[in-house]
Amino acid sequence: MSNSHSKRKEYIGLSPYELKYRGEKRGEKIRMTVFDIKLDEVRELNIESTEQLKEFVDSDSTTWLNVDGLHNEAVMREISALFNIPANIMSDVMDPSLRPQIKDFDNGIFASIKMLEYDEKSNIVKVDNLCLLVMNRLLISFQEEAGDLFDPVRERIRKHKTKIRTGGSDYLAFALLDVVIDHYNYILGVYGEKVETLEERLVLNATGKDVLSILNIFKRELNNLRRDIRPAKEMVMNLVKLDTDYIQDENRTHYRELQENINQVAEMLDYYREVLYDELDTYHSAMSTKLNDIMAVLTIFSVVFIPITFLAGVYGMNFDNMPELHTKYGYFVLWGIMIVIAIFMLIYFKRKKWF
């Protein structure tokens, strides 16, 4: 999983009203697209200049402006001035390290959430910060870089004369958040399958050399997911409770469904983390049992050889007056005594079920 954003030292102490990008530049150019939505007509435009956005300021249709790239501070200032977005809200938009949260302001709602996308080729979860501004007949979404996460929503807008066109900007915001949470669910499903597969492997061979490293990788990945999903759950909960005119009563049902979905995601996350910790306990128990077995075998061998070593030591002394040294069959007798002692002790240990 790629690292989530952290605040850099040079950004510490900046004014919350200063419109400065507080992240790493992910692209060369800001890309802006607009969906101008009516029941019978949808216009889709690529915006080259903020001058083109003026016609959507007081439009009677529902408008979705998507901005990919936050590093062009001049453009962000122009958008802020054009749509009357407070400086402190736009400053939060330009801070990718911002924790998922919800705020209301004079002419809209601000929502921030971490957007996760699983790259199947590299097996890496990419993290992007998504900010939504829900205003009167206007939705503005901000991402750090272009992506195809919201293509299903775009296709619904293009092809279907349904709620997606008539529900308003708050319903569009719900649709985008629903896609984000569905991706949480999908990613957890991917990791869940891996964790369960590893559990089956532990049953067959709990002491494999690479098992511990795989367990630690999964543990780190699930902890990273938890770091982004738990605050998102709080954000959605606060959004559902928010008393605002910018969410229509008929759309509040959908937001409650959104809360149920992310609660389910959080429960899945906790379940898989518990399974993983159980697997870690199983691995350590198996290793401890294996070590105990090894120590038991070594101890048995040591105990068996103690009397044999004692006899060998006695008759290995160099005194001149040792009568047994001159016995014709003394060597063979000593060997016989040592073998009998060894066999007797092994039989005794076996009956005691010490091995």
SS (H, E, C) the chain: CCCCCCCCHHHCCCCCCCCCCCCCCCCCCCEEEEEEECCCCEEEEEECCHHHHHHHCCCCCEEEEEEECCCCHHHHHHHHHHCCCCHHHHHHHCCCCCCCEEEEECCEEEEEEEEEEEECCCCEEEEEEEEEEEECCEEEEEECCCCCCCHHHHHHHHHCCCHHHHCCHHHHHHHHHHHHHHHHHHHHHHHHHHHHHHHHHHHHCCCCCCHHHHHHHHHHHHHHHHHHHHHHHHHHHHHHHCCCCCCCHHHHHHHHHHHHHHHHHHHHHHHHHHHHHHHHHHHHHHHHHHHHHHHHHHHHHHHHHHHHHHHHHHCCCCCCCCHHHHCCCHHHHHHHHHHHHHHHHHHHHHHCCCC
Structure-model confidence comparison of residues 11 and 253, the more confident one: 253
The third-level CATH classification (topology) of the domain covering 296-351 is Methane Monooxygenase Hydroxylase; Chain G, domain 1 (1.20.58)
Residues 128-150: pLDDT tens digits? 999 999 999 999 999 988 888 89
Residues 23-52: pLDDT tens digits? 777 767 889 999 999 988 999 999 999 999
- Fold match, 9-285 / 296-351: no
The CATH number given to 9-285 is 3.30.460.20
Domain ranges of the chain: 9-285, 296-351
Residues 220-248: pLDDT tens digits? 888 899 999 999 999 999 999 999 999 99
